[in-house]
Amino acid sequence: MSLVAIISDTHVPSRADAIPEWVVDEILRADHTIHAGDFDSPRVYERIADLADGNLTAARGNVDPPALGLSKAKTVAIDGVTFVVTHGTGSPSGWHDRVAETVEREEDEDAVGVAGHTHEVVDERVDGTRLLNPGSATGATPADRETMFVATVEDGDLEIELRTG
């Protein structure tokens, strides 16, 4: 069994001062961390990578500096579940389809899509593909609160819990 901290849109320092302590605690507790982009700065990327102790899968967000060297999509398999991580950059109205298409292009519809960008919590299926958006871990605007997912993954089974600050 693995615990996976799923976060996105931290936006430090442009929209928040720091990663909330409760989010730090969840990352430390997790076996793996997924970040769906918009770290906002190399300092925050390095902080999260350190907290995740090298077990970080991350995609580039639309405000992330190129120096981070992140790709637009990244795939990771954890205990029988494949996650395709992307940011979902673009208009909010096409977000679901855009993320589902990225999952299909990178893997297949059995994979779980993880994206951010809208700062809205999502856990739903689009054409058979499960899509997750953990919202914003720092509550960055337009979010109205700090949110993240904690996933329990075991032998191909996935359970998702929403955590809020």
Closest Cα partner for 102 from 59, 68, 143, 64? 59
Burial class (CB in 10 A: 0-12, 13-18, 19+), 59: buried
> How far apart are alpha carbons 51 and 21 in whole angstroms?
12
CATH placement of domain 2-164? 3.60.21.10
Provide the residue ranges of all domains of the chain, joining segments of one domain with +: 2-164
pLDDT surpassing 70 at residue 126: yes
The pTM (predicted TM-score) of the whole model is 0.96
pLDDT surpassing 80 at residue 153: yes
> How far apart are alpha carbons 47 and 15 in whole angstroms?
17
> How far apart are alpha carbons 72 and 85 in whole angstroms?
8
Contact in structure between 41 and 16 (CB atoms under 8 Å): no
| Three-state secondary-structure class, residue 160 | strand
> 2 has which bridge partners?
153
Tokens of 61: 């967000």
Q: What share of the chain in percent tops pLDDT 90?
A: 94
How long a stretch of residues is the chain?
Answer: 165
pLDDT of residue 108: 66
